[in-house]
Chain A
């Protein structure tokens, strides 16, 4: 059961400059590829501060922004929008492998 579905919870995200990989800002101000380590802002004002911090740490990432998330009972963070879910989890289908002769 997710709580705080209103979108008050936010994390800061961006794409890594070197390869475009999706990253999140953690509590230490480092960019991480792990959503579960993202710093969570629990209200709008903290979100604004988180975004300012993300922009201050903007190199080596591109265009930081805030992502609305929900928090499960077990503390798991999940983006609310499908777009951000896909950014967080990757393709929703199996891409063909480099050595694939046929699509499986």
Chain B
């Protein structure tokens, strides 16, 4: 299946990535030969996405805006098999992490990535990181415009941008093109939301200063409506203000959210607009030709409209309860009649969230070729998406995913848990995440019960850095270390839905590791006992507050 509908590297990109691989190969050689100290080498390996974790090096591979071709996924499987232990971890930033890379193999792994126009640049360091986007981009029925066009434009602008390679701290940008925010734009350093104004023009709401981590904050609107062709110039002005005034004296106060919080969004806006007034007519204005050329790279595949009602699908829906539930939770409306977006759940019951073996990756690539135009997306919720599946093919896709263990009808349900790698892998973590997720998943494994509980997002982080997004979980779970003992702090009411974005509120004292499942069970029981018709867990929480949940949990644990 050709990569017809993807942005392809041009000669400039390929040369740049190839040169970086060659440079890194020489740097690794010099390090292994003792010619470079670790102090000298560490920033070089991090620049190439190579971290040192508890047991091994970890390679963080950028998947720009979460878009993958089947060919690229096969290559990731091949790399994981050849240079790692044959599996990978899809992350909350739509990237893939390989956890067992050898230093001497890292240049070869990067060279293999370059064969499919991929790299690990800017997956570390105080630079503009891999841009994330709505995982239904280019397919969603509710989409105003494909955010990947703009993510790609930002990628080109930000890649090795000399002025923004040493920012005060890392910088994360997310883009959504839909009113239903699936990219969590209000909890990023900059969130961009495409919307249509009263005159019918589409532009960006520019949101700044959101973020999770040690000091979680919801982003504020910097610009209500920014014409699209002004995007790069405006981003550049914003980054310049941050680069100039962002704090470099304190690591924990260096993110742009702290700057915005300290000076206030009005002052931030005034500074950005002043900078923008100076630079807006410079080289960064986007011509229509440039925008159109990139837009063509993301053209919708040829999908001849079909009937939404397919007899075989309806028959299977009636006779197979699990398939019927899967249609409800894992299948979303497509912009073209007769097609659907399918989410492959990388959350089989009891499995480490977001992990896939090489064989599973290849199986997913095969399904994408057969049923989804060779296209895939990675979601920040650690699942894989087939964006263009004909409704008539849904039974075949369901069956194929079932053979891979990825057909669990749990997307958005209590076992669709986000979890960071936690203390099992991560050098920064204080507590484990994955085993906690596994225990919750096993406890709530019964599918009908999950669907009775309804939409409920559990997000688990193994430390305050919040890679597991616990602040915005309906139920957030944060692992902490107290005198060498793992404890878990529970928060309620977090949300990233647009217009309802909220940070969770801590319920009370942290609970012991072996009491987390009981605590979650008590939360769910409280919800089930008190919910009104149609209320999700988080809706009930908003209506009745924390106290009933708190009383039940602490009476239980």
Contacts and interface: CB of A to CB of B under 8 A. Distances in A.
Contact of B357 (A15, A91, A96): A96
Contact of B355 (A19, A59, A90, A95): A95
Interface in A77-104: 80-83, 86-87, 90-93, 95-103
A62 B125 CA distance: 20
A67 B438 CA distance: 29
B438 to A, nearest CB: 6
Interface string B298-331: 0000000000000000000000000000000000
Contact of A98 (B104, B359, B481): B359
A57 interface: no
B49 to A, nearest CB: 14
Contact of A101 (B57, B363, B429): B363
Contacts of A101: 357, 359-360, 363, 403-405
A52 interface: no
Contacts of A63: 38
A54 interface: no
A18 interface: yes
A18 B435 contact: no
A21 to B, nearest CB: 7
B291 to A, nearest CB: 42
A99 B359 contact: yes
Interface stretch (B80-88, B205-213, B383-391): B80-88
A102 B31 CA distance: 39
Interface of chain B, helix or strand or loop or mixed? mixed
The residue in B54, B358, B359, B425 that gathers the most chain A C-beta atoms within 10 A of its C-beta is B54
Interface string B98-117: 00001110000000000000
Interface in B67-88: 80-81, 85-87
A59 B36 CA distance: 11
A56 B360 CA distance: 45
Contacts of B424: 86, 91-93
Contact of B435 (A20, A92, A99, A102): A92
Interface residues of A, number: 30
B358 A98 contact: yes
A69 B379 CA distance: 41
Contact of B484 (A81, A91, A93, A99): A81
A50 interface: no
B481 to A, nearest CB: 8
A59 B359 CA distance: 37
Given A20-B56, A63-B38, A93 B360 contact: no
B27 interface: no
A95 B352 contact: yes
B32 A96 contact: no
B85 A90 contact: no
B55 interface: yes
A49 interface: no
B103 A17 contact: yes
Contacts of B429: 83
A92 B481 CA distance: 17
A40 interface: no
A29 B425 CA distance: 27
User: What 9 pairs across the A-B complex have the smallest Cβ distances?
Assistant: A98-B86, A102-B405, A103-B351, A20-B56, A19-B102, A20-B57, A100-B357, A96-B357, A91-B424
